[in-house]
């Protein structure tokens, strides 16, 4: 039975490389994969899923008004689609997630969505909220804070300092965001304190 999977983590946990690996495994067995990415995230180029270790995969863009169900049905008519993969699913809208649910329930095709859960203010994205509501399986992909504890927060930084106000969606990478444990997100430390007496 097909299911809707939501695989979430903070940044730098390997979500994109996991998606690329799943796509490779399907295609190696002769299966057809539909890969999607929200158009808002163009850090590494338009229509690309890109991992920080350098692997890339072409993807179809999803805009705010894209109907994913209609797109899927058109592709499925050309040749059966065996799996739908989505990167950066936190940027999806409610209707997108509902369309993914319809793909799973009406066409018995698994959908695997990868993305962040909470933003730099520690609030849910719209896509994350509805993935938590609708997903059949919710799985965490773990990574660590600089201290070695599990990272659960994404902090936005400006000039080496954490900021907790501003627009929810500002696209950036390691120069702007850091994954932290709850303790260091709350106390604002993005790295170990340097001892001025040590050289």
Q: What mean pLDDT comes out for the span 78-102?
A: 96
Beta-carbon count within 10 A of 66 CB: 19
The secondary structure element, H or E, covering residue 42 is: none
pLDDT tier at 46 (50, 70, 90 boundaries)? Answer: low
Q: Which segments of the chain are extended strands (E)? A: 4-8, 33-38, 48-50, 56-58, 60-62, 83-86, 111-115, 137-140, 153-158, 161-163, 177-180
CB 180 within 8 A of CB 190: yes
In tens, the pLDDT along 120-173 reads 888 899 999 999 999 999 999 999 999 999 999 988 888 877 777 777 776 666
Low-confidence winner among 45-54, 56-65, 148-157, 182-191 (lowest mean pLDDT)? 45-54
Kindly report the average pLDDT of the chain as a whole number. 87
Low-confidence winner among 14-23, 45-54, 58-67, 103-112 (lowest mean pLDDT)? 45-54
- Options 88, 126, 139, 167, the catalytic residue: 88
Active site residue 28: no
Q: How high is the pLDDT of residue 199? A: 40
Ordered structural domains, the chain, with CATH: 4-142 (3.40.50.300)
Q: How high is the pLDDT of residue 42? A: 63
């Amino acid at each position: 039975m097909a299911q809707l999977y939501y695989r979430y983590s903070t940044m730098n946990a390997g979500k994109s490389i996991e998606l690329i690996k799943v796509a490779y495994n399907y295609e190696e067995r002769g299966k057809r994969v539909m890969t999607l990415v929200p158009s808002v995230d163009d850090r590494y180029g338009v229509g690309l899923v890109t991992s920080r270790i350098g692997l890339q995969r072409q993807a179809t863009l999803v805009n705010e008004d894209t109907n994913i169900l209609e797109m899927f049905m058109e592709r499925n008519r050309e040749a059966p689609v065996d799996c739908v993969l989505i990167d950066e699913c936190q940027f999806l809208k409610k209707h997108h997630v509902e369309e993914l649910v319809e793909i799973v329930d009406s066409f018995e095709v698994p959908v695997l969505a990868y993305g962040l859960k909470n933003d730099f203010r520690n609030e849910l994205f719209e896509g994350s909220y509805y993935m938590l509501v609708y997903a059949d399986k919710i799985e965490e992909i773990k990574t660590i804070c600089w201290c070695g504890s599990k990272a659960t927060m994404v902090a936005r930084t400006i000039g080496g300092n954490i900021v907790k106000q501003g627009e929810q969606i500002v696209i950036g990478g390691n120069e702007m965001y850091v994954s932290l444990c709850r303790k260091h997100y709350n106390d604002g430390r993005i790295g170990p304190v340097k001892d001025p007496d040590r050289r």
